[in-house]
Amino acid sequence: MNIHAQSLTPIYVTEEINQPFTLYEGKMKILSDSPERDIIAQGTGSIKLAWFPRIRLKYSFNCDNLITFDLTKEHYLELSHLKISCKATATSSTDSSSVVSQKTYISGFLNEPVANASSQNISYLIFHITNFYGYRGDIIQNSSVIWFGRLLLQANGWKVTIDSLEQKAFDQLTNSLENEGGYAITHVAKLERIDNQIFTAEQALDVLSSLSYFLSFSAGLWVAPILPTGFDSDNNPIWQQWSSHVASSYRNVSSWFPIQEPQNLTEAFVGFMTLWNDQDWQQPLKLAIHWYVESNLQAGGIEGSIIFAHSSLELLYQHWIGIFNNDAAKKLEKLFEKARLPLKCTDMPSKLDSLENLLKFTTDKNISLPKAITEVRNKVTHLKRNDEIHHVSVRIETWRLSLWYLELVLLHLFNYQGVYKNRLRFAWEGDYDKLPWEQP
């Protein structure tokens, strides 16, 4: 009998998509925002992680008396059993009165994370990941089945083990997500030090923040590590945090991630973390990935998404090259040259049907691809009177090409040498491309 690595066990499970989690039930107090923290009301209630309209902590409170409550004022919510208080805002307040009882019902959202117990001496952290893609990882098993579910990331002394849910459960959730959209926990993960040393919650949260950006860049949509729990060396839970998160509702979008060869992410993660830990690069990296994801999601439509991608490319130019007297097209040319990316349509891979109209546009005008991207962007942002923007097919292909360049510039900055899924080619999953700078 083959013995495979044991799969990680999630602490929280979404048996159905968009299912909220009850994180706390019990006694509560509503306190004023004054320095004295005057008690406004005492009662019972619950804290739930709600998925819509975005991932937030929602509270419900009730007490056996009528109170006057100003919904416009921020207040504190004390979770009596945990001896924790946090800022909150109410969104609704109702009351009922009868001969035998009086009640007040209040609901709202928490405005800050909730963390309990010790944040020191953490041996390892278990957390959960929303809406990440399936991949053909290393073999893992539980008590009944085996599946290709493990992805391992290591960098800067940290080890991140990511396991997809058992294949049947994963397939059921993702099928529902594809049909209905929304959210689900699709993966469970473990964070630990490579040398097995203890660490603090603050250190762990920084790694989770970096992981959120890296996985979002890999998936092409916002992916959130949520609901972390820290354990000591005896496997006792000693720290936990609940918080709001930025995460995308499930969508099928393109990205560079070669899901049939996920070990490539291990290499990319090393280079990503090198930039993340560079004081001069962390903020530009966050912004570049922010604009990349928003563009990939078409958050501003095609026109806005072209602007997002172009802004990200100019940002990377500024922080990597930094010559300020170039116009926008020249900046892109210099950036792509340094990343060893093609500038002319004749240098692009053959049979790019996805760029047919844009390539014809560049050939007819005898301009480079960076110049074409900039011209299309300029027509969107600086349209002159009686002028017209380019045909929608050219705009769509400009957006697609801009994201291709942006993915490859970032991968070049990460010193990545693996394969990637080329969004400019219509290919079956598993048909991946070598990087332009790795071509003979």
**Residue 214 scores a pLDDT above 70:** yes
Which tens digits make up the pLDDT trace of 181-196? 999 999 999 999 999 9
Which residues on adjacent β-strands are paired with residue 127? Answer: 189
Question: How does strand 75-79 pair with strand 21-31?
Answer: antiparallel
Q: Are 350 and 332 in contact (CB under 8 A)?
A: no
- Give the residue-averaged pLDDT of 364-380: 94
Which fold, 21-116? Answer: Thrombin, subunit H (2.40.10)
Both tokens assigned to 16 = 């159905």
Which tens digits make up the pLDDT trace of 52-109? 989 999 999 999 888 877 777 899 999 998 889 999 999 998 888 766 678 899 999 9
Spans of all domains in the chain:
5-12+118-257, 21-116, 276-438
Residue 34's pLDDT band (cuts 50, 70, 90): confident
Question: How does strand 124-130 pair with strand 114-117?
Answer: unpaired
Of the candidates 212, 119, 219, 216, the residue with the CA atom closest to the CA atom of residue 160: 212
Of the candidates 67, 75, 120, the residue with the CA atom closest to the CA atom of residue 95: 67
**Residue 1 scores a pLDDT above 60:** no
pTM for the whole thing?
0.94
Return the residue matching tokens 């491309």.
Answer: 433
Per DSSP, which regions of 111-244 are E strands? 114-117, 124-130, 138-141, 146-155, 158-164, 185-193, 225-231, 237-242
Residues 6+ apart with CB under 8 A from 360: none
Distance, in Å, from the CA atom of 287 to the CA atom of 203, rounded to the nearest integer, reads: 22
Both tokens assigned to 353 = 């049907």
Which tens digits make up the pLDDT trace of 385-427? 666 778 899 999 999 999 999 999 999 999 999 999 999 988 8
Sheet holding 237-242, edge to edge: 5-6, 138-141, 146-155, 158-164, 185-193, 124-130, 225-231, 237-242, 114-117
Q: Are 246 and 224 in contact (CB under 8 A)?
A: yes
pLDDT over 90 for what percent of the chain?
80
Question: How does strand 84-97 pair with strand 102-110?
Answer: antiparallel
